[in-house]
Structures are given as C-alpha cells and as structure tokens.
Structure 1
Amino acid sequence: MLIRRMELRDCDAINTIYNYYITHTAITFDLAPWQKQEREHWFAQFDPSSRYQAWVAEQDQQIVGFAYNTPFNAKQAFHIASEITIYAAPDAGGRGIGSQLMRTLLEGMREQDLRRAYSLITLPNPSSLALHRRFGFQQVGQLNEVGEKFGQYHSVAMLECDLTV
C-alpha cells in the first residue's frame, strides 16, 4: 500500500468513498453527497505552503482511504490545534489503512509544530475509537444528541491527542 499526498486528480475517488458514508451512515453529518466541483474547491486549502495536509492510501492503483487535517477553529489563537478526519473505503476495513493514514498524518502535523489534534466521532463507533486510542487520543468530551440524521439523534465524542509527546 502506498500512502501519498492527495492530488487534485483524487477528488472523484475521495467523493466515492465519502459519499457512501453520507448516504449510508451517520458517521458524517453531511446530508447531501459532495459534487466534484465542491471537492475540488475544498482541496485548494491543502496548498503545499499550508500547515494542513491531505493524504490518500492507494492499493492496486485504487484509492482505498484518505486522511486530512484542517483548522480546529477559525479564531487565530487556535493555530496550534487541528481537527483530523480519516476514512477508509467501505470494503477496505481491517487492512490497516486507517493506522497507516493516522501515522502519516500525525507525523506531518508534528512537523508543522501543531500541538493538539482533535477528532469528532459519531457514536457508537468502536473501531474508530479504538484506532484513535492506539495513537494516543483520549476522549475529552461528548456532545449528546447533537446531530439528527436518518430520523435519529446522534451523539459525538471529542478526542484529543497531545502531539508534543
């Protein structure tokens, strides 16, 4: 498996993975599938000079997962913190894709002198919680019934990782 920087040409594959989770799960709180133009506009934030990065996992010339970090909050003093996101293709679970993407992403964040990584995980999601805990994330909060999708209310765990250790 190859972990590499995401490129503009990967946007369709990223949408295929992400849109599956939009339409079939509550893992993401997006309600409408992303369009190509929307993803390409989103991708522009990962300019090489930015401290934010996006990675893909590629296997047999197919994108099987992706990970990225974005600003934690728009207020300037939060510049030392970042929110992460990781997705594997729905049929690619259990292959270590999430671990490889997480390792690469966190290493890159440390190189950018970020101090804290945050992740919001829709509950229940034991596999995602386990992945994050393996990399030093600890649950620091829970937002109860904060989202509504598919006619149900969903809670979200907030996890934090100290990138300085």
Structure 2
Amino acid sequence: MNIRFAKPADAQAIADIFNQYLGIATMMLEPLSATDYQPIIEAVNSPCVVMCNDAEIVIGFAYVKPYSNRGGYILAGEITIFMAPETVGKRLGGHLYDELLPEAYALGYRHLTAKIWANNGSSIRFHEGFGFRMVGTQVAIGLVGGKRIDTVIMERVW
C-alpha cells in the first residue's frame, strides 16, 4: 500500500469510489465527476490523500476542506474519508488519517468536523478511534431514496 497526496490524474478514481456510496453514506444524490474533485485536489488549504494498492490503483481517499468561507471559521475544517467497498473493514482507512491529520494541523486546522449517517456505526467508531467525539444528532435532516436520514456530527479539537 502507498499513501500520497492526490494528483489531478486521481480525480476520476476518487469520484468512482465516492459514487459507490450514493444512497448509503452520503447526502449527494447525483454522481460526481473528476471535474467535481479537481478543486479539492488542487486547493492549497484542502489536503487530499489517496491510498493506492500495489498496482498503483486508488483504493481510498480522505481530505479536509474549509468548514466555511466565513473568516471566523478559519480554524475549522470538514473531514471526509471513503474507501473502495472491497477494502472496508480491513483496517486500511486509518492509514489515511495517520497521514491527513498531521497535515491538517500543519495547515492551521484546529477543529475538524465529520458528518456521518447516524446508522453508520463503523464510521462512528472509526472516528472515535482518532479522537473525534459526538457533539450531536441532526434528526431527519436528509431525504435519500425516499427515506429520512439522521446524521451525527463529530468533532476533533486540538
């Protein structure tokens, strides 16, 4: 396994992984394209890391983006991680956070927020393992596939 910063050429693989979670772990309703991920990959203040297998195929990604464009939120970011479904449960995603969290700190982030579907216990436990704590539940905030979806908000503060 190899972990590195994402390159523009990784955008399609990142989109392909993300799109496998439509309707089950994201509020996005339409597939994203490589073009949608280019700004995140290229942003100076949004570190994005990928995990590649031995064949250099992207099998997971994680990134931090600014929480808001309002100046008072300069220390806050929102963190996201997705792994190729066939790799879930193999304890690989933690390696992405091992790389990403220090990079986010170095860029000045001191508060990270994760929004997770409330029924995604494995993601909640994963984030707890990296020092995130639950700060609230947004009841029925989403509507995906005709179902109301609750999300939990988790945070890590340095």
Task: Verify same fold: TM over 0.5.
Answer: yes
Identify the residue that residue 147 of structure 1 maps to in structure 2. 142
AA matched with 2:52: E
Q: 2:104 & 2:34 partners in 1: Cα distance?
A: 27
What's the TM-score once normalised by structure 1's chain length?
Answer: 0.90
In the alignment of these two chains, the number of paired residues is: 157
SS at match of 2:85: coil
SS at match of 1:129: helix
AA matched with 1:57: M
8 Å contact kept, 2:40–2:48: no
Two-structure CA RMSD over aligned residues (Å): 1.3
Task: Kindly indicate whether residue 31 of structure 2 is the aligned counterpart of residue 28 of structure 1.
Answer: no
Q: 1:39 aligns with which of 14, 37, 53?
A: 37
Q: 1:81 & 1:38 partners in 2: Cα distance?
A: 22
Deviation for aligned residue 1:37: 2.7
Q: Which consecutive residues of structure 1, in runs of 5 or more, have no partner in the other structure?
A: none
Q: 2:6 & 2:34 partners in 1: Cα distance?
A: 15
Matches within 5 A, 1:27-106: 27-44=25-42, 46=43, 50-60=44-54, 61-106=56-101
Identify the residue that residue 13 of structure 1 maps to in structure 2. 13
Q: 2:40 & 2:6 partners in 1: Cα distance?
A: 12
AA matched with 2:111: R
Identify the residue that residue 137 of structure 1 maps to in structure 2. 132
CA deviations over 1:19-73 (Å, ceiling 9, x no partner): 1111xx33111111112333334433x2xxx232000001121111000001112
What's the TM-score once normalised by structure 2's chain length?
Answer: 0.94
Q: 1:53 & 1:42 partners in 2: Cα distance?
A: 8
Q: Which consecutive residues of structure 2, in runs of 5 or more, have no partner in the other structure?
A: none
CA deviations over 1:4-33 (Å, ceiling 9, x no partner): 0000000111111011111xx331111111
AA matched with 2:33: Q
Change (3 A) 1:68 1:42: closer
SS at match of 1:91: helix
Identify the residue that residue 103 of structure 2 maps to in structure 1. 108
Where does structure 1 differ by over 3 angstroms across 4 or more consecutive aligned residues? 41-44
AA matched with 1:66: F
Identity %, equivalent residues: 29
